[in-house]
């Protein structure tokens, strides 16, 4: 192992010492060359340290990029786009179709019962029995729908896991981006108060609505809420 490289301060001190020892009016080419030699020797260590520092920074950056690439690769964006998202979309479409078909069947049978003539008891009984059986059969959609929903939920969990891994890998490099700008659709939803169905426990029930619609709140109270 060689001697430790001199610090930048001691190197500069060395050079300035050399200059002080020289008498400017007697300086010749050998003196200049000697001074240059001293400067080169003195600064070699400094530039050596600088190289090592930059090299370490670049190595860290390279390692970070490799790690990020690896995590993004594990995310399998192509797989998500080509497989997971389309499959989840198809499942949701199938759910909509099956619930609609089941609802139509149930309603048709209920309407059949409603319109059946109770005067003819035998025919009425047969109609009701047949319709009830159809309704039972139609209700089987719930089992298949439940399985389809489970598949969609699995896809969402899969995506959540992948994105979580990516966020962990990138760590502090991730900064929250600026708040998204409100789109026309967002603005319409806000202005027309389009919240959609509330989850269990989040919305208000009919009794709360009745309280608001009844004498519980005067127009002044309501107006005050908008001020």
Partner 1 sequence: MAVDLSMPVLVVDDYKTMIRIIRNLLKQLGFHNVDDAADGTEALTMLKGKKYGLVISDWNMEPMTGYELLKEVRSDEAMKPTPFIMITAESKTENVIAAKKAGVNNYIVKPFNAATLKTKISAVLGDF
Instruction: State the residues that interact with partner 1 by CB under 8 A.
Output: 100, 103-104, 107, 110-111, 114, 192-198, 203-206, 208-209, 212-213, 217, 219, 222-223, 225-226
Give the whole-angstrom CA distance, residue 84 versus residue 160. 12
Query: Whole-number minimum distance, CB 137 to partner 1, in Å?
Result: 18
Query: Whole-number minimum distance, CB 114 to partner 1, in Å?
Result: 7
CB-wise, 16 or 217, nearer to partner 1? 217
Query: Whole-number minimum distance, CB 103 to partner 1, in Å?
Result: 5
First CA to last CA distance, the chain: 78
Query: Whole-number minimum distance, CB 102 to partner 1, in Å?
Result: 10
78, two tokens: 């192509």
C-alpha 75, offset from chain centre: 12
CB-wise, 101 or 174, nearer to partner 1? 101
CB-wise, 9 or 200, nearer to partner 1? 200
Query: Whole-number minimum distance, CB 177 to partner 1, in Å?
Result: 28
Output the CA torsion sign for 94, 99, 104, 105.
Answer: positive
Give the whole-angstrom CA distance, residue 167 versus residue 164. 5
Give the whole-angstrom CA distance, residue 88 versus residue 148. 9
CB-wise, 123 or 209, nearer to partner 1? 209
CB-wise, 54 or 209, nearer to partner 1? 209
């Amino acid at each position: 192992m060689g001697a430790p490289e001199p610090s930048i301060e001691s190197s500069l001190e060395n050079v300035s010492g050399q200059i002080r020892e020289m008498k400017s009016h007697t300086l010749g080419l050998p003196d200049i060359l000697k001074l240059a030699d001293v400067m080169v020797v003195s600064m070699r260590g400094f530039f050596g340290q600088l190289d090592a520092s930059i090299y370490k920074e670049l190595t860290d950056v390279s390692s970070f990029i490799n790690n990020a690439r690896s995590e993004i690769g594990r995310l399998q964006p192509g797989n998500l786009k080509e497989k997971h998202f389309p499959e989840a979309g198809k499942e949701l479409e199938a759910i909509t179709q099956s619930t609609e078909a089941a609802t139509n069947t149930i309603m048709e049978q209920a309407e059949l019962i409603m319109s059946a003539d109770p005067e003819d008891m035998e025919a009425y009984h047969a109609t009701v029995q047949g319709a009830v059986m159809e309704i039972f059969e139609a209700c089987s959609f719930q089992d298949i729908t439940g399985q389809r929903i489970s598949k969609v939920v699995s896809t969402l969990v899969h995506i959540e896991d992948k994105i979580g891994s990516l966020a962990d890998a990138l760590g502090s490099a991730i900064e929250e981006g600026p708040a998204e700008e409100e789109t026309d659709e967002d603005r319409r939803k806000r202005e027309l108060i389009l919240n959609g169905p509330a989850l269990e426990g989040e919305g208000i029930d009919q009794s709360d609505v009745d309280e608001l619609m009844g004498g519980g709140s005067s127009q002044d109270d309501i107006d005050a809420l908008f001020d």
